Amino acid sequence: MAKNITLDYDEKVDILEVHLGEPCEAVGEEISEDVFVHYDLETSQIVGLTLFNFRKRFAQEKKEPMILPLAATFTLAESVKAA
């Protein structure tokens, strides 16, 4: 089932939220410093990520890649394929 990815950045507190699909009840787990992954309570599927200190982390002169221990599969939505 296709899920939309929504990004929400709060500049005041420097937090990036990544939502996969529709909002649902979830539990968060810190997987690295300032990075949380959110799981659906019913299915245990990943439904989002929270990145604290997002701009601060990526504004540093020495840009280190952030590697997240996640696997993903991407496909084009039918509406895009039809265009």
51 burial type by CB count under 10 A (0-12 exposed, 13-18 middle, 19+ buried): buried
pTM above 0.85, yes or no: no
Domain edges within the chain:
5-82
Reported as type and span, the H/E element at residue 58 is helix 54-58
- What pLDDT sits at residue 63? 64
Average pLDDT, the chain: 81
Q: How confident is the model at residue 1 (pLDDT cuts 50, 70, 90)?
A: low
Looking at per-residue pLDDT, the higher value among 24 and 70 belongs to 24
**Token digits of residue 1:** 């089932």
- What pLDDT sits at residue 22? 84
